Amino acid sequence: MTPADLHYQVDVAHWGWSIAWFLWFVGIAGMGSVAYYFVRRAPLAYVIFGSLAIGLLLVVSHLGRWWNLPRVLWIMVINLDFNFNSWMLIGIMMLSVHLFMTLFIVIAHLPFLTNRFGWLGWTKALNASNLYLVLYAALGAGATVYSGFLITQAAGVPLWNTSLIPVLWVISGSVAAIAVLELLYVFGLVDARVSSFGVRLGMGLDVLKLLAVLGFLHVALSFGSAGARFGAELMTSGEYALMTWGGVIGIGILIPLAIGAYTIFVGKSKPLLLVSSVAALAGVFFLRAAVLLAGVWEPLVL
């Protein structure tokens, strides 16, 4: 039964597709930074940098009053008044630091810059430093967790008020990072050794992601408030059911799992890897979009 007081957050607050893309890019960049610690390849650094830059641009363009941002920042700085209770503020600060840390790594991978401008040599030292890269990976994981807490903290949307979301975001962000590595391999940008990092781990993560998605829906349907339940119903049998079952689970989990199994038993095929990594990346996006779009307020009257 539809409650008398049912409102979708996307209609009122307008957290829609652009925020879904933002969360997707943050997931790729965040867990991509963890992958970077292990593989340390230039193309991955470029992808992380691009994802962060696009993600931040998306979030700024989503601001209804973006033109007021310089004044807002100025007032905060001159008053030394920062609301560190807000995950949005913490997250934007983390992403900005992350962007700069990635920029240094990208520069270290560009010999025409480091050779021409000798003073940029320190970026190579940073890129060779385990400590720097551990910090970088930690910040990436933190940024992914942040993108989960960002919506968890939005008290108006009960479907989101669960700590399963950051967990889901980290697992699916890891799936996305591995899919990016596979894509880089398909396009000949990293070698097979780097890509072999992924197949079994990717399948394990796909299974984990499946369990986490089903767990998230089950918790909302069985133990959630009316608003959480209604949101979960939108995802399982309502307006966003196709996105959940077809996009998140079918395309995003089952196709990569089937191709992963084929790869293990029969052997690697680049066209199939291409399909599986694009499907995995699409699934990670559908997950964020479905969770966002299915967000409704707690009905005050049923």
Partner 1 sequence: MSTRLRRGQAPTRRMAHIWDASRCIACGACVMACTQANAPEMMFREEKGWKSLASNIRRIDSVSPHGRPELLLVQCQHCENAPCISTCPFGATYYDTDGRVRLDPARCAGCSYCVTSCPYNVRWLHPDNKLPKKCMGDGCIDLTDSGQHPACVQACPAMARDYGDLNDPSSSVSVTLRTKRSRRLLEATGSEPKFFVVEGSR
Q: Which is nearer to partner 1, 12 or 128 (CB)?
A: 12
Residue type at position 262: Y
Containing 183, the helix (H) or strand (E) segment is helix 164-186
Neighbours of 217 (CB within 10 A): 21
Find the shortest distance in angstroms from Cβ 144 to partner 1: 19
Interface residues with partner 1 (CB under 8 A)? 4-5, 7-9, 11-15, 62-66, 68-69, 71-73, 75-76, 81-83, 85-89, 92, 151, 153-157, 295, 297-298, 300-301
Torsion of Cα atoms, 220 then 24 then 258 then 262, to 10°: -150
Query: Angle at the Cα of 95 (from 16 to 293), degrees rounded to 5?
Result: 15
Find the shortest distance in angstroms from Cβ 92 to partner 1: 7
Find the shortest distance in angstroms from Cβ 74 to partner 1: 10
Q: Which is nearer to partner 1, 89 or 264 (CB)?
A: 89
Q: Which is nearer to partner 1, 13 or 221 (CB)?
A: 13
Find the shortest distance in angstroms from Cβ 266 to partner 1: 47
Contacts of 57 (CB under 8 A, 6+ apart): none
Find the shortest distance in angstroms from Cβ 189 to partner 1: 36
Q: Which is nearer to partner 1, 205 or 234 (CB)?
A: 234
Q: What's the rounded Cα separation, in Å, for the pair 56 and 284? A: 18
